[in-house]
Amino acid sequence: MTRLATMAWIGLGVALAGLAAAHVRLTNPGNGAALRWSNPSSVSVVISSAGSDDVSDESDTAAVRLAVREWNQVTGTTAQLLENANPSARARMDWQSDDLHMAWFDEANSSEWFSTGAGVVAITPIWFNASGVITDADVIFNGRDWRFTTSGVAGRFDVQAVATHELGHLLGLDHSPHCAASMYPWVDPTIVTQRTVASDDVAGVRHAYPLGSWPSVTGRVLRVDGTPVQGAHLVARTSEGTPLATCLSTSDGSWSLRGLSAGTYTLYAAPLDGPVTASNLTTFGAVATDFGATMLGSVVVGVAGITAVGESTLAPDHGVSLGRASDDLPLRVVPGMARNATVRGSGLAPGSSLSTSNPHVTVSDVVWLHAQVRFVLAASAEAPWESLDLEVLTSTGERALATGVVEVTPANPVVTQVEPPVVTPTGGTAVLVRGAGFRAGVVAVMGAHIYAETDGLEVLDAQTLRIVTRPSNEGHVDVVVIDPSGIEGRMVEGLQVAAVPAIELVFPNAGSAEGGTVVHVTGVDFEAGSMVLIDGVVQDEIVQVDARTLRFRTRQGLAGAPAVLDVVSPTKGTASAAFLYTQGPDPLVASVSPPSGPAAGGGELEIVGENLPEVLEVVFGADPVTGLGGQSVTVSNRLDSRTLRVTVPPGAPGVIDLVVRDPAGLHVAVAGAAYTYLGPDSGPSTGCWLATRPLTPSSGLDAFLPVLLALAWLLQRGRLRSYDRSAEPASTRHCV
Select from 305, 304, 78, 306 the least CA-distant residue to 205: 78
For the chain, the straight-line distance linking the first and the last C-alpha, in angstroms and rounded, comes to 104
Percentage of the chain modeled with pLDDT above 70: 88
Q: Are strands 148-149 and 157-158 parallel, antiparallel or unpaired?
A: parallel
- Is the CA virtual torsion 223, 226, 229, 232 positive or negative? positive
Res. 418 pLDDT band, cuts 50 70 90: very high
702 CB-near residues (< 8 Å, 6+ apart): none
Say yes or no to pLDDT of 707 above 60: no
Reduced to 3 states, what is the DSSP secondary structure of residue 201?
helix
Residue pair 246/269 in contact by the 8 Å Cβ criterion:
no
- Regarding pTM above 0.85, the answer is no
Q: Is pLDDT above 70 for 264?
A: yes
The pair phi, psi for residue 99, each rounded to 5°, is -90, 5
Provide, rounded to the nearest whole percent, the portion of the chain with pLDDT above 90: 76
- Which domains does the chain carry? 2-208 (3.40.390.10), 216-408 (2.60.40.10), 414-497 (2.60.40.10), 502-582 (2.60.40.10), 588-727 (2.60.40.10)
Q: What pLDDT is stored for residue 610 in this prediction?
A: 94
What's the pLDDT at 697? 39
> For residues 585 and 442, what is the distance between their CA atoms, to the nearest angstrom?
58
Q: Is 674 helix (H, G, I), strand (E, B) or coil?
A: strand
In terms of C-beta density within 10 A (0-12 exposed, 13-18 middle, 19 or more buried), how is residue 677 classed? Answer: buried
Amino acid at 575: A
Q: What is the β-pairing status of strands 102-106 and 43-47?
A: parallel
CA atoms within 13 A on the CB side of 63: 32
Q: Which candidate, 463, 421, 423, 418, places its Cα nearest to that of 442? A: 463
Q: What's the CA gap between 471 and 427, in Å, rounded?
A: 4
Handedness of CA 315, 321, 325, 328 (dihedral sign): negative
Statement: residue 191 has pLDDT above 90: no
Mean pLDDT value across residues 537-544: 96
Report in angstroms the alpha-carbon separations of 216 from 263, 404, 582, 662.
11, 20, 81, 85
Instruction: Give every CB contact of residue 76 below 8 A, 6+ residues apart in sequence.
Output: 202, 206, 210, 211, 212, 214, 259
H helix or E strand, kind and range, residue 242? none
Output the pLDDT for position 283. 66
- Indicate the pLDDT class of residue 711, thresholds 50, 70 and 90: very low
Residue 11 has a pLDDT of 27
Q: Is 484 exposed, middle or buried (0-12, 13-18, 19+ CB in 10 A)?
A: middle
pLDDT of residue 6: 54
pLDDT band of 636, cuts 50, 70, 90: confident
**CA–CA gap between residue 165 and residue 333 (Å, rounded):** 22
Average pLDDT over residues 58-77: 96
* Phi, psi angle pair for 594, to nearest 5°: -75, 160
pLDDT digits (tens, 9 = 90+) for 449-485: 999 999 999 999 999 999 999 999 888 999 999 999 9
Mean pLDDT of 228-242: 96
Res. 729: pLDDT tops 50: no
The neighbour count for residue 262, using CB atoms within 10 Å, is 11
